[in-house]
Amino acid sequence: MSQPLINHSSDLKRLQDEGYKLELRDGHLLVHRIPYVNSSSEIGEGVLVTDLDLAGNKTAKPKNHVIHFVGDQPCNKDGSVITAIEHNQTTRNLSTDIRVNRSFSNKPKPHGYKDYHHKITRYIEIISAPAISMDSSKTARVYEVIEVPEDKSVFNYIDTNSTRAEIGVISEKLEGHKIGIIGLGGTGSYVLDQVAKTPVQEIHLYDGDRFLQHNAFRSPGAPTIKQLDRQYFKTGYFNMIYSKMHHGIKSHPIYLDESNMSMLEELDFVFLCIDKGSAKKGIIDYLIDKKIPFIDVGLDVTVAGQSLLGTARSTLVTDQMTDHIPSRISLTDRDADEYASNIQIADLNALNAIMAVIKWKKHIQFYQDEEGEFSAFYSTNVNEMFNEDHRS
């Protein structure tokens, strides 16, 4: 992906053509071999690092004027600090493979940097001027090539959201996981919408139903009439949509039973998003036997006068915590109720999915978890979240 991005971005292509040593890594642009003077008045070389704002397969105008640096503090010829760009001198990781030592701030007025060529060359001009005045042979335009590594991202385009927020190291906790979503009704489809935006390795979809008109009003997105006429399997329909972003999605248009339950064996985590209690029992028994953690979701809507009362539940189960299952997860089939009819509750489906995804992220320590609850409940009439089944 790196070289195509450069080829489609006139500012990056110009930097490359002018001889700057560029590297694209973990959603950042690195410019190597930047000459500078250190506090001992010695000339060294550092690396400029900036996050990238992208529009599809090319760069957009930089929104952030701050830039990072790998190296010692750049100084004037006499060893005094270049104060005009001072910002932060904290060493930290932007990702597992990018560790920076400091950052600089210099914002051209009134509109900032027009592109990345403007941003990079301006910082080079400020940082390298003392070194060049001491030795005119010093330059950042070295015309060296960095071999482009094979792109191993699960995304079809770079995740600039994490790089802009500078949470790349934390986001790496999501990498490598194989996730299963069983049931792609209202809640399951919203779970997919969230998980597909994370760098998990694979997302396996299990559902034997077809995507029909009533499903359109309980799911993210807006299908066309032509798509509804095709009556895709749900797994195929959502795979078609989310594979545009994440290429680790796997479609399994089946109902799970004893004959095919082994498909779950290689998964790291499962979201169980089905209503039929009797169908859950075999799946839950299998997941517990294989020590695969999972979250079961539940949604109930009842008529209360002239209004609806909705409750949403999210229950985490691990091999260390299973005693709460009988009191939280129904393993019998319920009678037709307001939820089983076509009352439109996409907002509760989405909320239920968000509750489950946030708890999954807490489980893998992406989010801090001081409460340690295994079940959470939300009720519309009091607008409160209740935590239950705490870890001992």
| CATH number for the domain harbouring residue 305 | 3.40.50.720
Query: What percent of the chain shows pLDDT beyond 90?
Result: 78
> Domain range holding 283?
176-390
Q: Please report whether residue 168 resides in a domain.
A: no
**Of 100, 127, 156, which residue constitutes the final position of a domain?**
156
Domain match, 20 and 128 both: yes
- CA separation for the pair 99, 95 (Å, rounded): 7
Q: Please report whether residue 279 resides in a domain.
A: yes
Average pLDDT for the chain: 91
E strand map for the chain: 21-25, 28-37, 43-51, 54-55, 58-59, 66-70, 86-88, 92-95, 98-100, 102-105, 178-182, 202-206, 249-252, 269-272, 294-304, 307-317, 373-379, 384-390
Residue 157, pLDDT score: 76
Q: Please report whether residue 57 resides in a domain.
A: yes
Domain match, 274 and 341 both: yes
Q: What is the pLDDT of residues 263-308, one digit of tens each?
A: 999 999 999 999 888 889 999 999 999 999 999 999 988 888 899 9
Residue 148, pLDDT score: 53
For residue 60, pLDDT over 70 is answered with yes
Residue 345, pLDDT score: 87
Q: Please report whether residue 166 resides in a domain.
A: no
Domain match, 282 and 363 both: yes
Domain match, 207 and 253 both: yes
Which tokens sit at 156? 């079809």
Residue 342, pLDDT score: 40
Q: Please report whether residue 161 resides in a domain.
A: no
Q: Please report whether residue 205 resides in a domain.
A: yes
Domain match, 211 and 300 both: yes
Domain match, 254 and 317 both: yes
Residue 338, pLDDT score: 47
Point out the least confidently predicted range of 151-160, 241-250, 311-320: 151-160
Q: How many domains does the chain have?
A: 2
Which residues sit opposite 155 in a β-bridge? 246
For residue 167, pLDDT over 80 is answered with no
Residue 276, pLDDT score: 86
Q: What is the pLDDT of residues 19-58, one digit of tens each?
A: 999 998 888 999 999 999 999 999 999 999 999 999 888 9
Domain match, 262 and 370 both: yes
Residue 145, pLDDT score: 75
Q: What is the pLDDT of residues 356-389, one digit of tens each?
A: 999 999 999 999 999 999 999 999 999 999 999 9
Residue scoring higher pLDDT (16 or 205) = 205
Domain match, 51 and 193 both: no
Domain match, 140 and 97 both: yes
Residue 170, pLDDT score: 86
Q: Please report whether residue 345 resides in a domain.
A: yes
For residue 343, pLDDT over 90 is answered with no
Domain match, 376 and 319 both: yes
Domain match, 103 and 202 both: no
pTM of the model: 0.73
Q: Give one DSSP letter per residue of 205-274, joined into a string.
A: EE---B--GGGGGSSSS---HHHHHHT-BHHHHHHHHHTTTBTTEEEE-S---TTTGGGGTT-SEEEE--
Q: What is the pLDDT of residues 70-91, one digit of tens each?
A: 999 999 999 999 999 999 999 9
Q: What is the pLDDT of residues 16-30, one digit of tens each?
A: 999 999 998 888 999
Q: What is the pLDDT of residues 120-161, one digit of tens each?
A: 999 999 999 999 999 999 999 999 877 655 566 788 877 767
| Confidence at 164, pLDDT banded by 50, 70, 90 | low
Residue labelled with tokens 């999954």: 360
Three-state DSSP class for 334? coil
For residue 69, pLDDT over 80 is answered with yes
